[in-house]
Amino acid sequence: MNSSDSGNETPDDYLKKLRAQQGYMPVGDHFDELRKRLIFTILYVIIFSIAASFFYEMIWQFLMGPVAKFVGNTSGTPVKIIATKLTDFFAVKFKLIIFTGVLAATPLIIWEIWGFMLPAFSGKTRKWGWGIIVAATALFWGGVIFCRFGVWDLVAEMLIFGWTPPGISIENTTELVQAELHITMADYLSMFFAFHFAFGVSFEMPVVSVILALTGILKAKMFWANWRMAILVIAVVSAILTPADILSMLAMMVPLVILFLLSGLLVGMIEKNSKEDENAT
């Protein structure tokens, strides 16, 4: 029976079977796969966002804490948190729970991204699947948490007080008029979300490096030959993303340099293991 089936197998059938084993997919199937995974991703975000809505007050306090302590400040810059549109309260709540939903759904979103990319990788690369998913999730969350507790308070304080203009003197009096800072909730949350998301993504450097190394695109010598330029780029990016304060700049730069060096070591280990496997065969 089996020999008969194999004897009747046409070259086209064999090619289709080989392509299926190698993970090959026609362009149309790729779009169908992308659509399916996007739908699942949206569903994950919706489900976790609904869950986040039940903890809205707690999340609100957590996010606004770094600036709330400056409200009603009697020395320095007076700070007020305001809304400028009738729809601001609704928009802020909606944005907050969606952002929280995205963060909470990160492991599942990474799983869907990996599943979509999987056909492009070899069998050896696929074996790293669970490790890559766990590492990517942990690093993303690590970046977000580090930003919130290690960087954001410094950034908020520096932006509020570090650039305060001098008071304006009133003629014939000793009184000074101090400029007030009115922070709109929408602007604050937009910056908060963007800043934390940037940290989370930047912490993915080792995972991206490992994937590129497994596919043969990235070599260890590329890291060590260009390490000075890489550190310079990290320093410039850190200076741009953080205010002109050396502490907040270093708070972002130092972890990224460490992650860069870790990425180089991981790529070197992968290259070494690949060469040993080739020699063994």
Could you read off the pLDDT of 158-184 as tens digits, one per residue?
A: 777 766 666 676 766 666 667 777 888
Burial pattern 68-80, b for ≥16 Cβ within 10 A else e, equals eebeeeeeebebe
Say which residue, 245 or 158, is predicted with more confidence: 158
**For residue 216, what pLDDT is reported?**
78
Indicate if 187 and 62 belong to the same structural domain.
Answer: yes
102 occurs within a structural domain: yes
Q: Categorize the per-residue pLDDT at 249 as very low, low, confident or very high, splitting at 50, 70 and 90.
A: confident
Indicate if 234 and 166 belong to the same structural domain.
Answer: no
Indicate if 165 and 197 belong to the same structural domain.
Answer: yes
Share of the chain above pLDDT 70, in %: 76
Report CA 211 to chain centroid distance, whole Å.
16
**For residue 139, what pLDDT is reported?**
92
Give the pTM: 0.77
**For residue 1, what pLDDT is reported?**
47
3-class state of residue 233 by DSSP: helix
Indicate if 246 and 225 belong to the same structural domain.
Answer: yes
| Spatial distance between the Cα atoms of 231 and 245, rounded to a whole number of angstroms | 18
107 occurs within a structural domain: yes
Enclosing domain of residue 270: 204-275
Residues β-bridged to residue 128: none
Indicate if 199 and 136 belong to the same structural domain.
Answer: yes
Q: What is the mean pLDDT of the chain?
A: 80
pLDDT at 264 over 70: yes
pLDDT at 244 over 70: no
Give the pairing type, strands 176-177 and 168-169. Answer: antiparallel
258 occurs within a structural domain: yes
> Which tokens sit at 132?
């890559």
The structural domain count of the chain equals: 2
Q: What would the pLDDT profile of 101-154 be if each residue is shown by its tens digit?
A: 998 898 899 889 888 887 777 666 777 778 888 899 999 999 999 988 888 888
**For residue 253, what pLDDT is reported?**
87
142 occurs within a structural domain: yes
Indicate if 110 and 140 belong to the same structural domain.
Answer: yes
193: how many CB neighbours lie within 10 A of its CB? 18
**Final residue belonging to a domain, choices 170, 203, 236:** 203
